[in-house]
Amino acid sequence: MVANSSGAGVEDRPENGGSDAGGVALKKGPWTAAEDAILVEYVTKHGEGNWNAVQKNSGLARCGKSCRLRWANHLRPNLKKGSFSAEEERVILELHAKLGNKWARMAAQLPGRTDNEIKNYWNTRIKRRLRQGLPVYPQEVQNQSNTVNQPNFQNPPYPQSPCPPSQTLFSSSPQFKPAFSSSLSLFDPITTLSAHQTSPILTPPYQRYKRSGDTGPDFPLPFSQASLPSPLPSSSLPNQFSHISPLQLNPVTFCQNSLPILQTQFKFDQMVPPVLDFSINPELPSSQFSKKTHPYTADNMKINSSSSNCGLLDELIGQAQAMVCNDSSRRQASFGSQEEKHMLNDFELFLSGSSTNPPFVSGPQWADSTSLQPSTGEKPKQEPADDVNSMNEDLSDMLIFHPAPNIPEWYSDNGVSIKQSSSITEDDIGLDIPQLTSSSPVATTTDHGWTPGSSSWDNFSGIC
């Protein structure tokens, strides 16, 4: 709250400052009004940047990082406060569908809003909607995604008669083949990758990275924390998510078990919930996986998920190992066919290190997927991601709301903000954002090989 800056509760608390810079104990915690005033004055005089100098020159007992954050999120002019408008929410939804958890980029499209604000918004309101069983993405976003994914959905990856849940983990049913990539494409920037390069599943987890910076989409990984089902108690989850087990982070499993989701949830009108397991990621970015325990539905195993990605990965691998090693009887029941057993064996080899090839790579199920690299799969790399990402960057730069790069739009010599054409009044929001979004008709086709997330930029006026 801004109450923090009111100085209401928290006065300078030396003990609250943890670090020490140059002998000066740097304060942490809520900002006081006095601190705000100092920072505002300093920035007004000296401009932004060189944040570490703030502490040195102004006597403010805050690290530069903290100063930058405070300025950007609370003190800079033209910040919009208060709840998001309906249009802003819609923009956020669209942007999130396209960008994923790229809060800064999203903020660039929402004048006066900060990445932190958007992030908090998403992590709270959207999560709440999910918990309440309310759909998240507007129909148009869904339509857009569906349309862009049409090639895959025309030939539905989701079989009319899904494989029984018992086949969850290693089914080699050819039906899942396109499902993975296409389903990913729906709402997650990972689609940008999946349509061009090796599917994440084709690369061992250790070859993937938690974060790739701006060189590529910050996509959730199949084994990453972000890809896991919501930590929310199943009782409070929408029905469509309550049954998703952590095992379903395996796309093979996921696509099969996601079938019911599709079949049932797409009946909703107006708003459409995230369709698939992987689409959960965007909805519950940071807190979609927490310290709570997630009951397995497929097995009686439980995962005490840690907050660490690595720990989670280890756990998952461990659980998988435990499962494949210790539950042969269940395996027999679950993986009845020779093909499935073969895949299971591959997976065991992979886990044991006897095989460098991750499972799921070989086999006909991937053969005709254009989204995949050859099954050698040893290319976790990001060239396509870079391409697409850079394209997004370029296009983003062309957006009408993109702030001027050199001089902060809110800053002028006298401290009075300099309004750009795009900024930033309540009225502007009511006008420009709708223009932005309403003029973004649903893309019908993409013939440039783009993936849904990236191609949808074309929908924005001012880009093309």
Q: Is 305 in the site for DNA (CB under 7 A)?
A: no
**In the bound complex, what is the minimum distance in angstroms from residue 71's beta carbon to DNA?**
9
Q: Is 315 in the site for DNA (CB under 7 A)?
A: no
Q: What are phi and psi of 379, to 5 degrees?
A: -130, 85
Cis peptide before 261 (omega within 30 of 0): no
Q: Is 228 in the site for DNA (CB under 7 A)?
A: no
- Estimate to the nearest angstrom the gap between the alpha carbon of 146 and the chain centroid: 19
**In the bound complex, what is the minimum distance in angstroms from residue 222's beta carbon to DNA?**
15
Give the span between the Cα atoms of 89 and 67, in whole angstroms.
Answer: 28
Q: Is 205 in the site for DNA (CB under 7 A)?
A: no
Q: Is 307 in the site for DNA (CB under 7 A)?
A: yes
* Burial of 383: CB neighbours in 10 Å, binned 0-12, 13-18, 19+: exposed
Q: Is 207 in the site for DNA (CB under 7 A)?
A: no
Task: Please pick, from the candidates 42, 43, 66, 162, the single residue that binds DNA as defined by CB under 7 A.
Answer: 66
Q: What is the largest CA-CA distance in the chain?
A: 76
Q: Is 31 in the site for DNA (CB under 7 A)?
A: yes
**In the bound complex, what is the minimum distance in angstroms from residue 129's beta carbon to DNA?**
9
What is the pairing mode between strands 271-272 and 24-25? unpaired
**In the bound complex, what is the minimum distance in angstroms from residue 291's beta carbon to DNA?**
7
Task: Please pick, from the candidates 14, 22, 213, 353, the single residue that binds DNA as defined by CB under 7 A.
Answer: 213
Task: Please pick, from the candidates 29, 174, 231, 260, the single residue that binds DNA as defined by CB under 7 A.
Answer: 29
Which is closer to DNA, CB of 63 or CB of 372?
Answer: 63
In DSSP notation, 351-370 reads: HHTS-SS-TTSSSGGGTT-T
Q: Which has the closest alpha carbon to 244: 283, 286, 188?
A: 283
**In the bound complex, what is the minimum distance in angstroms from residue 128's beta carbon to DNA?**
5
Which is closer to DNA, CB of 50 or CB of 376?
Answer: 50
**In the bound complex, what is the minimum distance in angstroms from residue 98's beta carbon to DNA?**
12
Q: Which long-range contacts (CB under 8 A, 24 or more apart) does 405-413 make?
A: 408/47, 408/48, 408/76, 409/78, 410/76, 410/77, 410/78, 410/79, 411/43, 411/44, 411/47, 411/48, 411/76, 411/77
**In the bound complex, what is the minimum distance in angstroms from residue 58's beta carbon to DNA?**
13
Residues in the interface with DNA (CB under 7 A) total 62
Give the span between the Cα atoms of 406 and 343, in whole angstroms.
Answer: 55
Q: Is 423 in the site for DNA (CB under 7 A)?
A: no
Binders of DNA among residues 126 to 165 (CB under 7 A) are: 127-128, 131
Give the span between the Cα atoms of 62 and 25, in whole angstroms.
Answer: 8
Residue with tokens 């690369």: 203
Task: Please pick, from the candidates 87, 94, 140, 218, the single residue that binds DNA as defined by CB under 7 A.
Answer: 218
The one segment of 22-30, 169-177, 190-198, 437-445 that binds DNA by CB under 7 A: 22-30
Q: Is 57 in the site for DNA (CB under 7 A)?
A: no
**In the bound complex, what is the minimum distance in angstroms from residue 119's beta carbon to DNA?**
6
Q: Is 113 in the site for DNA (CB under 7 A)?
A: no
Task: Please pick, from the candidates 105, 113, 196, 331, the single residue that binds DNA as defined by CB under 7 A.
Answer: 105
Helix (H) or strand (E) holding 272: strand 271-272
Q: Is 96 in the site for DNA (CB under 7 A)?
A: no
The answer to whether residues 131 and 232 touch, using CB atoms and an 8 Å cutoff, is yes
Which is closer to DNA, CB of 178 or CB of 189?
Answer: 189
Q: Is 117 in the site for DNA (CB under 7 A)?
A: yes
3-state DSSP assignment of residue 93: helix
What is the pairing mode between strands 293-295 and 302-304? antiparallel
**In the bound complex, what is the minimum distance in angstroms from residue 290's beta carbon to DNA?**
7
Q: What are phi and psi of 208, to 5 degrees?
A: -110, 165
Give the span between the Cα atoms of 273 and 157, in whole angstroms.
Answer: 18
Which is closer to DNA, CB of 63 or CB of 259?
Answer: 63
Q: Which residues are at the interface with DNA (CB under 7 A)?
A: 1-5, 8-9, 18-19, 27-31, 49-52, 62, 64-66, 68-70, 73-74, 83, 101-105, 115-117, 119-121, 123-125, 127-128, 131, 209-215, 218, 225-226, 285-287, 289-290, 307, 309
